[in-house]
Structure formats: C-alpha cells, structure tokens
C-alpha cells in the first residue's frame, strides 16, 4: 500500500497528476464495437453524440488472428474521429495474454490523448491495477500526455469479487467497475451457459398448499418466481464503488433479441445504483439510454419533495407518504442525475424542463 502522502503522486517522472476525484460523466451505455470489423467500424463516426461511451473492444469476441487488425483499426478510428461529447474507451486484452503489452504500448502513444478510459478485463486484485497504473504513467510521460487515462476494471473472477474493495482503492485512476457475468459464471463454476441475464431454473417456489387435514399437497399447482442470479454481485459492486467514489455498471446482456428481459436486467441494475450498462448491439443503446435516465415522473416527484422539504430537515406528508431527510437525499440523487443528463441530451432537457413543480 502506498502511504497517503504518495497516493496522488505521478508514478513516473513527467506523467500527468492522477485525478483527485472521478468526474460524473454520463455513461448510460458503453457501446462495444470491434474496430477490426469494417462494417461495425464504419458505423462509429455516425454514432458519436447518440451514445455516451464508444468502446473499441480488443479482448474476447475478437478472434486471435484478428488482434493486430483490431488494434490498428482502433488507432485509425481514434485518430480520425472527433468524439465531441461522447467518451472514447477501449477494452484491452487480459493481463496474462500475449497481446496486452502491445495494446498498451501502441494505444497510449498513438491515441492516448483521445482515450478517456481503459477497461481492464479479468482483474484479480490490486496487483493488476498497480501494474497497469505504473505502465500507463510511464507511457503517458513518454508520450507527453497532459491528462491521465482512467482505468475501469471488469469484475469477472471469484478472486476479483473477493478483492473488490482493494481493487477500487488500488489507484486514483480507478473510474469504475463492470460486472462481467459470462466470465464470472465460468470462473465460479456456475451451471449456466448464458451471457448475463436470468435463468428459468433459479426460482423460489411457494410452499405446498395443505388439504383440510393439514397434509401438504406436493403435487398441487404452486407459484414460482424466477430470481435474479446477479443481485448479490451487483449489490456488492455498488457498495464498493460508492465507498470509493467510483462508478458501477452492469455488463453484457447476450440475448440481443430479448429486448424486454434486457430492459429488466438494466433496470434492476439502475435501481440498485449502477450508472450504466454495456451495449453489444445498436438496439441495446436505446434500452440503456431509456433505463438509465430518470423518468419524468420520478424527477417531478423528486423536485416536489425537495421544494416541500425546504432546508432538507424535518418531516412532511406528500400524497399520504412521509418524506424526511433521508428521502430528500434520494430525491437529490435523482435530480442531480437528471441535470447531468439534460446537459448532453436535448430531448431529456425538454422533458425535464416541462415539469411543473406542484405543492
Ligand atoms: C462477454 C463479453 O465479453 S461481451 C463483450 C464482447 N462482445 C462484443 O463486443 C459483441 C459486439 N457485438 C457483435 O459482435 C454483434 O452485434 C453480434 C455478433 C452480437 C451480432 O452481429 P450481427 O449478426 O451482424 O447483428 P445484426 O445483423 O443485427 O446487425 C445489424 C447491423 O448492425 C451492425 N452492428 C451489429 N453490432 C454492432 C455494434 N456492436 N456496433 C456497431 N454496429 C453493429 C452490423 O454490422 C449490421 O450492419 P449492416 O446493417 O450494415 O449489415
Ligand atoms: O466480459 C464480460 C463477461 O461477462 O465476461
Ligand atoms: Mg469477460
């Protein structure tokens, strides 16, 4: 552990100072594309401004023989594109792969000035972040960058989950965490075969009804409810991120055609405290933008509570419900997010501005 006095010092002579605080930037959808896939890459310039984060993926889903092509494709896109309000991220190959060193030593000098965040997969513990942190500082210094590149870790190993707090605290560059349900399921030896989402076998069943003599009727019809496989891990991730002032994200939802279940999964994550989710296909951008933007009804209610609560202390009744210091704080979270999103999304701004705050 670095002593507190050294925590914010650059890790290489000439490297930019690490951030003291991670700014809250809209990142409802982190949209994945393969920069080596000509069809996908060609769509990227037109996606600027329609999605909060564009992420050039170099890791899983890119075939081994295409790794160099995708890396070069990312360099070309990074150089040629003006990203405007959209953040530009990449997911590098895993730290134990033969490609990651070339990923970092190529990307930082070539397009480091454009990259906002580097996503690191399969992070196991603080030592992985320390490695990336030092190497980035050296490369940034060599490239003469004046702004540090932030680091985002994917939570996709059992060890990573066990070490979650130390990962969040490992560097002032840490921007956030994403849940990686596919790799995590494999690493935990969960008996699933999907990329995120639920499972029809993971249920809680109603107790058997009893007959008039009190005998349980095991064969009688019973209600069962599918449960959320990811609840524990998302909640753990949200707490760790909140504690460290960084941002939690739900990861991939692989059933592209099941837009309804994708929306449910994203909304569960939003309600639990995540700020965004991955989009693997353009159709998922629309879902994420909708789900991770507070609804007009929620913003209207939140503004009403804030107005009624005056200095934020005490208790009031609104529509038969008690509101007090704790509920007004939740309302402030909602309104702060709405204001942040309104700055970059004219449609949302119009909708939020049209709200009339009633007594
Ligand atoms: C577990 C994990 O690690 S998840 C993260 C890694 N995985 C990924 O990054 C996957 C990214 N997404 C993809 O590779 C693709 O979307 C697939 C393979 C899932 C589906 O691709 P397709 O079968 O081509 O989908 P579909 O036919 O619906 O595509 C429609 C159009 O959208 C384009 N498109 C599809 N996905 C994307 C994308 N992510 N970004 C930009 N454009 C896309 C297609 O090129 C196609 O273009 P066209 O109309 O000019 O032909
Ligand atoms: O990389 C993501 C995952 O789910 O695995
Ligand atoms: Mg993965």
DSSP for 100-117, written as a single string: HHHHHHHHHHHHTTT--E
Reduced to 3 states (helix: H, G, I; strand: E, B; else coil), residue 51 is strand
CA distance 188 to 231: 15
Q: Which ligand is nearest to the CA of 31?
A: 1
* Residue 184 CA, closest ligand 2 atom number: 5
Q: Measuring CA to CA, which residue among 194, 173, 177, 175 is closest to residue 185?
A: 194
Each residue's pLDDT, cut to its tens digit, for the chain (359 residues) gives 788 999 999 999 999 999 999 999 999 999 999 999 999 999 999 999 999 999 999 999 999 999 999 999 999 999 999 999 999 999 999 999 999 999 999 999 999 999 999 999 999 999 999 999 999 999 999 999 999 999 999 999 999 999 999 999 999 999 999 999 999 999 999 999 999 999 999 999 999 999 999 999 999 999 999 999 999 999 999 999 999 999 999 999 999 999 999 999 999 999 999 999 999 999 999 999 999 999 999 999 999 999 999 999 999 999 999 999 999 999 999 999 999 999 999 999 999 999 987 76
Give the residue, out of 184, 186, 192, 193, with the most ligand 2 atoms within 8 A of its beta carbon, to mutate for a pocket test.
184
Tell me the H-state helices in 48-180: 67-80, 100-111, 126-143, 158-162, 164-168
Q: CA–CA separation, 42 vs 38, rounded Å?
A: 6
C-alpha to C-alpha distance for 309 and 323, rounded to whole angstroms:
8
Say what the pLDDT of residue 102 is. Answer: 98
Q: Which residue has the tokens 């991120």?
A: 241
Residues having CB closer than 6 A to ligand 2 are 60, 121, 154, 156, 180-183, 195, 251-252
> For ligand 1, which residues put their CB under 6 angstroms from it?
32-33, 39-40, 43, 57, 60-61, 182, 195, 252, 256, 280-282
d(CA 272, CA 249): 10
Burial (CB < 10 A; 0-12, 13-18, 19+), residue 296, is middle
d(CA 100, CA 43): 26
Helix (H/G/I), strand (E/B), else coil: 185? helix
Strand partners, 33: 56
Cα-to-centroid distance, 232 and ligand 3 (Å): 18
Question: What does the block give as tokens for 30?
Answer: 């982190």
**Does residue 338 contact residue 294 with C-beta atoms inside 8 Å?**
yes
* pTM score above 0.90: yes
């Amino acid at each position: 552990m670095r002593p507190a006095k050294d925590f914010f010092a650059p890790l290489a002579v000439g490297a930019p100072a690490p951030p003291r605080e991670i700014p809250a930037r809209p990142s409802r959808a982190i949209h994945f594309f393969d920069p080596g896939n000509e069809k996908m890459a060609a769509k990227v310039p037109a996606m600027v401004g329609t999605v909060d984060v564009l992420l050039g993926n170099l890791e899983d889903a890119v075939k081994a023989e295409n790794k160099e092509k995708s890396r070069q494709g990312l360099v070309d896109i990074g150089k040629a594109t003006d990203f405007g309000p959209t953040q530009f991220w990449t997911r590098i190959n895993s730290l134990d792969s033969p490609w990651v060193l070339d990923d970092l030593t190529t990307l930082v000098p070539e397009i480091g000035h454009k990259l906002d965040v580097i996503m690191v997969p399969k992070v196991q513990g603080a030592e992985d972040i320390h490695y990336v942190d030092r190497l980035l500082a050296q490369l940034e210094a060599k490239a003469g960058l004046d702004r540090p590149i932030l680091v985002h870790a994917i939570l996709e190993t059992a060890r990573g989950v066990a070490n979650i707090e130390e990962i969040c605290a490992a560097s002032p560059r840490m921007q956030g965490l994403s849940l990686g349900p596919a790799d995590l399921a494999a690493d935990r030896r969960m008996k699933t075969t999907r990329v995120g989402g639920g499972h029809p076998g993971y249920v809680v069943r109603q107790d058997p009804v009893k007959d008039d003599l009190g005998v349980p009727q095991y064969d009688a019809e019973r209600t069962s409810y599918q449960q959320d496989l990811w609840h524990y891990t998302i909640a753990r991730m949200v707490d760790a991120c909140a504690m460290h002032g960084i941002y939690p994200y739900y990861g991939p939802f692989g059933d592209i055609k099941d837009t309804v279940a994708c929306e449910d999964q994203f909304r569960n994550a939003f309600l639990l405290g995540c700020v965004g989710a991955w989009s693997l296909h353009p159709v998922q951008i629309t879902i994420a933008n909708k789900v991770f933007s507070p609804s007009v009804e929620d913003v209207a209610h939140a503004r009403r509570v804030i107005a009624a609560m005056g200095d934020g202390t005490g208790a009031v009744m609104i529509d038969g419900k008690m509101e007090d210091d704790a509920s007004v704080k939740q309302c402030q979270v909602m309104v702060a997010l709405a204001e942040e999103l309104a700055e970059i999304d004219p449609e949302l701004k119009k909708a939020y501005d049209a709200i009339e705050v009633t007594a």
